[in-house]
């Protein structure tokens, strides 16, 4: 069996292996080229089918099935993907959170029969605007039951961190956590059901979708009402419901179908019986509390650059500036930083940092010499000793050049490196690991503990 997996972002499996993909692979060139076959990932390379040639799905499947040795991806790509998905399905349990909510029995029954509706309800509430908020007025926690609801940790965190509407924030009835969470879900539910349409296929969105299909020849030359036209229309309606209509509109349709089913009434009766006798338990949500150091460690582990210091040397201003220099030499684009870029183009600019520093030093020498010359030797009254003054000036300038150059060389590296180190350290303390200085340091693999102590006040 050959499997193709895609979502709205395309071949999402390749995102996990982005650092190991060949140079030609990008979202525009991997269409119909990524498959799973015999428990291995297969990517049809551009050496087999050039990327400038369209590749049909049937032809791609044939290539993978007949030439698996040519299309199987490298071990590095597969390991990168397995590192992310290898913990599943156990990871699903670790990513879920069960909480107790106080909800009207109608909403509890709907979420029991269709748990996936929780996602659009939570998202709708967390993104409500002024127009949506008017549907939340007048909500009362009456005729409610306590029920267990399973969230993903992401949805639970979204709901917990979102604020209650201002006009009910101080209501004594919603001081309990389960009541607050239930109230938020009720608000999201009300907003979604306010958009409920008697017929989803009479909405402006569907009419626009149908007109687009007709304009692009989807129905071919079939007359409206014919057998083949009806079959194509049925497929289009199913596709629109699953893929094209808005999430809230789809949720409205599903809620309407559930409420008209026999299972809905049976579930309501069952939930009322359980609420009187069942002892409900919920998961501990201490995982919501993440310290800045833990977050930084997580970001470094998953997205940072690992820097290994020789012999476990402590981080010094010299090491820091060296790593920053290497980082700034990298090339970046919309895909991120391109490490060790080798290709050069005719229009590329060759910037030599050493030459640039030398030019700056010479400029400083010239400015310094000129100021000394103007202050010490300029005179409009002593014309008789002009030649002598000029000779003295030449000798003095040469001596000053030598002295100034030696001082610059001796103090430049230490002072500049120390100042950079000091400024970045202070920035990290001020911004709390969430600003530009911290971002730069994370990119070169420097952690907060490498620079600052926990009680560092200097």
Provide mean pLDDT across the span 121-147. Answer: 82
Q: What integer pLDDT is reported at residue 30 of this predicted model?
A: 86
Asked if pLDDT for residue 311 goes beyond 70, the answer is: no
Q: What integer pLDDT is reported at residue 308 of this predicted model?
A: 46
Q: Are residues 328 and 232 in the same domain?
A: no
Provide mean pLDDT across the span 251-257. Answer: 83
- DSSP class of 21: S
Asked if pLDDT for residue 108 goes beyond 90, the answer is: yes
Q: Are residues 34 and 97 in the same domain?
A: no
Q: Are residues 273 and 355 in the same domain?
A: no
Q: Are residues 155 and 206 in the same domain?
A: no
pTM strictly above 0.75: no
Chosen domain end from 85, 114, 135: 85
Q: What integer pLDDT is reported at residue 344 of this predicted model?
A: 47
Q: Are residues 10 and 117 in the same domain?
A: no
The verdict on residue 286 lying in a domain is no
The verdict on residue 81 lying in a domain is yes
- Cβ(9)–Cβ(15) under 8 Å? yes
Q: Are residues 244 and 391 in the same domain?
A: no
Q: What integer pLDDT is reported at residue 205 of this predicted model?
A: 75
Asked if pLDDT for residue 240 goes beyond 50, the answer is: yes
Q: Are residues 193 and 204 in the same domain?
A: no
Asked if pLDDT for residue 107 goes beyond 90, the answer is: yes
The verdict on residue 221 lying in a domain is yes
Asked if pLDDT for residue 32 goes beyond 80, the answer is: yes
DSSP-assigned states of every residue in 336-372: EEETT-----TT-----HHHHHHHHHHHHHHHHHHHH
Can you tell me the distance from the alpha carbon of 418 to that of 413, in angstroms, rounded to the nearest whole number?
Answer: 8
Chosen domain end from 22, 57, 85: 85
Q: Are residues 268 and 233 in the same domain?
A: no
Q: Are residues 320 and 401 in the same domain?
A: yes
Buried b (16+ CB within 10 A) or exposed e, 332-356: eeeeeeeeeeeeeeeeeeeeeeeee
What is the domain range of residue 136?
Answer: 93-197+262-277
Question: Where residue 301 falls among pLDDT bands split at 50, 70, 90?
Answer: confident
Provide the domain count of the chain: 4
Work out the number of other CB atoms within 10 angstroms of the CB of residue 293: 13
Average per-residue pLDDT for the chain: 75
């Amino acid at each position: 069996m050959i499997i193709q997996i895609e979502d709205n972002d395309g071949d999402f499996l390749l995102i996990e292996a982005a650092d190991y993909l060949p140079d030609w692979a990008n979202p525009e060139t991997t269409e119909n080229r990524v498959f799973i076959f015999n428990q291995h990932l297969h990517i049809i390379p551009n050496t087999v089918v050039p990327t400038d040639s369209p590749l049909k799905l049937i032809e791609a499947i044939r290539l993978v099935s007949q030439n698996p040795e040519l299309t199987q991806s490298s071990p590095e790509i597969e390991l990168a993907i397995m590192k992310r998905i290898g913990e599943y399905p156990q990871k699903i349990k670790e990513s879920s959170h069960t909480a107790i909510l106080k909800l009207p029995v109608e909403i509890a029954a709907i979420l029991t029969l269709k748990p996936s509706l929780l996602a659009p309800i939570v998202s709708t509430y967390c993104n409500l605007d002024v127009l949506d908020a008017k549907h939340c007025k007048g909500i009362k926690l009456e005729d409610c039951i306590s029920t267990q609801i399973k969230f993903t940790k992401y949805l639970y965190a979204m709901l917990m961190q979102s604020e209650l509407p201002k006009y009910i924030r101080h209501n004594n009835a919603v001081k309990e956590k389960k009541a607050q969470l239930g109230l938020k879900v009720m608000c999201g539910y009300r907003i979604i059901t306010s958009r409920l349409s008697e017929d989803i296929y009479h909405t402006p969105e569907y009419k626009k979708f149908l007109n687009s299909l007709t304009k692009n020849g989807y129905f071919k030359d079939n007359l409206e009402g014919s057998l083949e036209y009806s079959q194509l229309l049925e497929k289009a309606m199913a596709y629109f419901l699953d893929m094209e209509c808005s999430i809230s509109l789809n949720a409205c349709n599903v809620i309407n179908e559930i409420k008209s089913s026999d299972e809905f009434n049976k579930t309501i009766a069952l939930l009322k019986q359980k609420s009187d006798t069942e002892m409900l338990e919920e998961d501990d949500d201490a995982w919501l509390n993440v310290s800045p150091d833990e977050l930084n460690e997580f970001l470094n582990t998953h997205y940072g650059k690992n820097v290994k210091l020789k012999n476990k040397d402590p981080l010094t201003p010299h090491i820091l500036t060296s790593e920053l220099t290497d980082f700034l030499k990298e090339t970046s684009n919309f895909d991120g930083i391109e490490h060790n870029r080798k290709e050069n183009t005719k229009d590329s600019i060759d910037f030599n940092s050493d030459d640039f520093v030398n030019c700056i030093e010479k400029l400083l020498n010239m400015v310094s010499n000129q100021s000394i010359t103007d202050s010490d030797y300029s005179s409009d009254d002593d014309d008789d000793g002009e030649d002598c003054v000029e000779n003295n000036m030449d000798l003095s300038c040469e001596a000053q050049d030598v002295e100034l150059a030696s001082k610059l060389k001796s103090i430049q590296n230490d002072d500049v490196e120390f100042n950079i180190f000091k400024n970045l350290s202070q920035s990290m303390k001020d911004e709390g690991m969430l600003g530009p200085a911290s971002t730069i340091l994370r990119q070169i693999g420097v952690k907060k503990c490498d620079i600052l102590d926990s009680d560092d006040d200097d």
